[in-house]
Amino acid sequence: MITANELDEMSRIDIRTVDPNTLVDIRDVKINHELPKEERILDYIRQIKNPYCFKHGKIIVKVSFSDTEDTFEQKFESYLRSI
């Protein structure tokens, strides 16, 4: 089980300095939809190693969250309206 401190440390990975060879390619992660939600989450984290930083092919992906009550859908809709 991953601790809150470990997750916090994972979220601080700098994509400018991380070795891409240490990252998991998200295309290799397989989700077992038959597992209960909690077990799917744990299995995903086990496979991806760092849910905040991974790769898709040669592209490094960094995930972060803002401290807001707005949902992703609300933010995305706002973005689409602004362009």
Give the per-residue pLDDT at 66. 80
Please give the angle made by the CA atoms of 23, 26 and 32, to the nearest 5 degrees.
Answer: 125
pLDDT in tens, 24-81: 999 999 999 999 999 998 999 999 999 999 999 999 999 987 888 888 788 888 888 9
Name residue, tokens 């597992």. 35
Q: Identify the helix (H) or strand (E) that includes residue 54.
A: strand 53-56
Give the per-residue pLDDT at 40. 94
Answer yes or no: are the C-beta atoms of 64 and 52 closer than 8 Å. Answer: yes
